[in-house]
Every structure is written in C-alpha cells, then in structure tokens.
Amino acid sequence: MASISRSDIARLVLRVGVGGVMAAHGTQKLFGWFGGGGLAGTAGHLESAGFRPGRLNAIVAGVTDTVGGVLLAAGLATPSTGAAVTSTMAVAAATHAPQGFFAMKGGYEYPAVLGLASGTLALAGAGKLSLDELLHQRLGGGRLALFSAVVTAGATALVLRRRQAALAEQTPTTASPAAADNVTTGPATPPAPGEPTTPPLPRGATGQADNGPTEA
C-alpha cells in the first residue's frame, strides 16, 4: 500500500464519524434502539409528514441510514453509499425547512451538515484506509460516482414531489373539521341592559376563565 497521507486519515475520521451517526439513526428507526420509535413510531411520524405509505418509507429510511452508515464508515462503495445517504438527508432537510435553519428551532441544520459531509465523501472518495482501496476501487470509481449522483438526485426529487402531492390532498380534509368547530348554533341574542357584552362560548368550552395556554 502506498504511503498514507493526512488526507487519508482525515477521510477515515470523517467516514467513521458520519457513518456511525447515520447507523445509529437507522437502528432507531428499525429497532427502536437509543430511544428511537422503531418501525411503528417512525412510520406514524413519516405518514403524518406526508411520506406515504409510512411503513414502507420507514423501512427504506431505516435501511438506508443503517447500511449506508456502516458502508460509509468502512469505505465500501463510497460514491454510491455517500450519494444514498446524501439523498436521505436532503429529504430530511427539506422536511425541516419550514422551521428555518437552526436545529434548536427544529430547522434543517443537522441533516444538512450530515448530507454535505456524505456528499463530499461520495465525490472525494474514501481514501487509502478503506475497503474501496483494498478492492482496487472496483466499487469506488469516478464513473460510479457520477451515475450514483444522477440516480439519487432523481430519486430525491421524486420522493419530495410525492410528499407535496400527499400534503396537498391532506389540506382540504383537515380544514373542514376546523371550520365546523367555529360554527355557533342558533342566532346571537343581544344582551339585556346592564349585562356584560362577552360573546357566547363556542361548543366544547368549559366556561372557565382563559388564563393562557397550558402544557399538554
């Protein structure tokens, strides 16, 4: 093996770090490890976010995170693996985008950083301290990197487009019950002289004073 450079060591550290994080997230989705929701919890969350069917998307996301993380850490098929992880993180970032950038406010900061790191490894390669190098780059060549980038970009666009369509179908159905709850029954009766002019309580109100929002 040729001499090891600082770049090779840096790629190894980045691969192990990013790959380990991705594998941990994947096991949260698939098995409920590390406090995760497992397939059932992940499927419910994805379903509510517009990714349907939820269970299938949970399996795909969990397998991509877990297997992709392990392969990325090992440096095997790095262009394809890095591109697949980047695609998953791009979908996650787009989902969190309405909350802004910073993770502390639910934004897309965290998946964006993981996606950029994975994409960088997909383009730069795993380095000499990797299984790709041991296999003489049979699964880590430049043509494979370009092919993987094109395929995963198309898959990402398709997933996000289907999500937008699902959310668009969901909006009219969720708006109807909310509008019905605001309808009062019967005509309003004008107050007698000297009575307070507070409006009638809507249906479901308890009649207690509103002291602001309470914790769920």
> pLDDT tens track of the chain, all 216 residues?
568 999 999 999 999 999 999 999 999 999 999 999 999 999 999 999 999 999 999 999 999 999 999 999 999 999 999 999 999 999 999 999 999 999 999 999 999 999 999 999 998 999 999 999 999 988 887 788 888 889 999 999 999 999 999 999 876 654 444 444 444 444 444 444 444 444 444 444 434 434 444 344
State the Cα–Cα distance between residues 32 and 38, nearest whole angstrom.
4
- Which sequence spans correspond to the domains of the chain? 8-171
Q: What are the start-end ranges of the H helices in 34-188?
A: 38-48, 54-74, 78-96, 109-124, 131-134, 142-181
Q: Give 63: exposed, middle or buried? Use CB within 10 Å, 0-12, 13-18, 19+.
A: middle
Which stretch of DSSP H or E encloses residue 136? none
Cα separation, 163 vs 131, whole angstroms: 36
Instruction: Evaluate whether 200 touches 184 at the Cβ level (below 8 Å).
Output: yes
Q: With beta carbons less than 8 A apart as the criterion, state whether 127 and 11 touch.
A: yes
In the DSSP assignment, the letter for residue 182 is: T
Q: What is the Cα 206 distance to its own chain's centre? A: 39
